[in-house]
Structure 1
């Protein structure tokens, strides 16, 4: 019983720290288009909206090519005090891109809500 209490006392602050830190972590992922891929299939594979994938890669159409590198939009969990403007500024993306990627035209955010953060750089064409 003593060991359990000691464990809880030492591990609890670490867990609380991680819970507070992790929601704001954003990590982008790259994907190389393969033959037979479509924007729709890639979006489904990574569980992101097609519009977020297009915005993140500056794609005007859904046309993609084998060998093309795409950036999969990152996920961001809204924290207290966040606004769309602050999130866009923090991640170096235009506010309009953040709005388009999330199909979000109003400014209301809920703490804990997940947003797609498009890449701050565009797609690279196949060589």
Structure 2
């Protein structure tokens, strides 16, 4: 069995860093506009995917896309991240009515702790720009 892939950035998310990550996407006009554009792209992707009912948000980070994913009333969201601190931050930072719709899961993107075919879609907005090696991106 191959050893799991460990990326340097994924080890840095303690509680303080996770909170800073949450706040940085709300800081300043440029970041807010960038987030709005990400939301436009995400809505279009979800539409093209047939508005999936069970979505794995991996990595979920601080849950910044959970409100968007929760716009579809009957959608179930699995909010997964390698960092327990990120999941905790997401669960405290996002609106309670949104968090109530999310099933938190600590797992690696390289070894997702779910059975095959257990979700309709994987929502992955901000992972690949962190992965430098082509073999790791393929995994």
Task: Flag whether TM exceeds 0.5 (same fold).
Answer: no
TM-score, structure 2 length as denominator?
A: 0.28
Structure index of larger Rg: 1
